[in-house]
Structure 1
Amino acid sequence: MRAEPAEFETKLHREADPPGEDGWLFFRDNCWRGELNDPDYLRDLTEDALGVTVLSVDFRELRTDEAYLSALKAEIDANLNLFNADSTAEVLSKYLGSSIRVVDDA
């Protein structure tokens, strides 16, 4: 038995945790300037979560609605000490770069 193709590319969407709740610092812990800071680690996590072999993983964007982005900014602003930054804009730039995409929440 065999599969064709043996490898394929797909998109994986991970829902962002609500600001202030466990896991909300995922972007801080795993991204830098809009890129994964340790792709091998995230590949291993993805393999474990999916139960399949994963060859590579990358980060494309934080796709969010305006309400989530506003809540994220407020939480960052309230916790700037967690980011070694002077402003929310600096935090977003340092960790997500230009990889934020706001979509209509309707």
Structure 2
Amino acid sequence: MDTTDGLASLQPTDPDGATAQYVFRVAIQLEPDADGLLADPDRFETTLYRAADDPGTSGWLFFRDTLWRGELADEPHFRRLAEDELGCPVVSASFSEFRTDEAHFDALKTEIADNLALFNADSVSEALNKYLGSSIRVT
């Protein structure tokens, strides 16, 4: 997998005004490099967010291409990408949920229905379950 662009290559095409987000949990390990310095706690969890592209636009298949079978599905690789962007050791990184509003979710379901062949699925429900499982939160 190519890591030259890091997480920056995973940015949405239009993050302003996004009504949906991919949510990730990341655990960071602090390692002070000066003698005699300790951090307590030296490990903490934080949440990273990536705005979701509008259905049908460039990048809208992020959940299919990057989460499910792409570079973020490989946890060690995802940790390295996060480390590069955050500038500190990342000891775990995982996808938590897809958070969306009703309008975005309806548009996503419509776009999936119009492109079922892209998902190797017979229905929208099957496609959503296959790629996002129970990690969808509609707000």
TM-score range, shorter chain: 0.7 to 0.9
Q: Among residues 105, 112, 130, which one is paired with 1:76 in the alignment?
A: 112
Counterpart residue number, 1:17: 53
Unmatched runs of 5 consecutive residues or more in structure 1: none
Q: Quick one: higher RCO (CA 8 Å, sep 6+), 1 or 2?
A: 1
Percent of matched pairs sharing the same residue: 59
Structure with the larger strand share:
2
Match of 2:135 in 1: 99
Which of these residues, 98, 109, 120, is aligned with residue 62 of structure 1? 98
Q: Does residue 31 of structure 2 align to residue 31 of structure 1?
A: no
Please name the residue that 1:85 is paired with: 121
Rg larger for: 2
- Post-superposition shift, 1:47? 2.5
Alpha-carbon shift at residue 74 of structure 1 (Å): 1.1
How far is the alpha carbon of 1:2 from its aligned partner?
A: 4.1
Cα shift readout 1:33-91 (whole Å, capped 9, x = no counterpart): xxx63222222232233333221111111111001101111111111111111111110
Distance in 2 of aligned mates of 1:99 and 1:12: 15
Amino acid at match of 1:56: S
Q: Quick one: which amino acid aligns to residue 8 of structure 1? A: F
Tell me the TM-score normalised to structure 2 length. Answer: 0.63
Q: Return the offset for 1:21.
A: 1.9
Q: Letter of the aligned partner of 1:55 in structure 2?
A: V
TM-score scaled by structure 1? 0.80
Deviates most, 69-78 or 3-12: 3-12
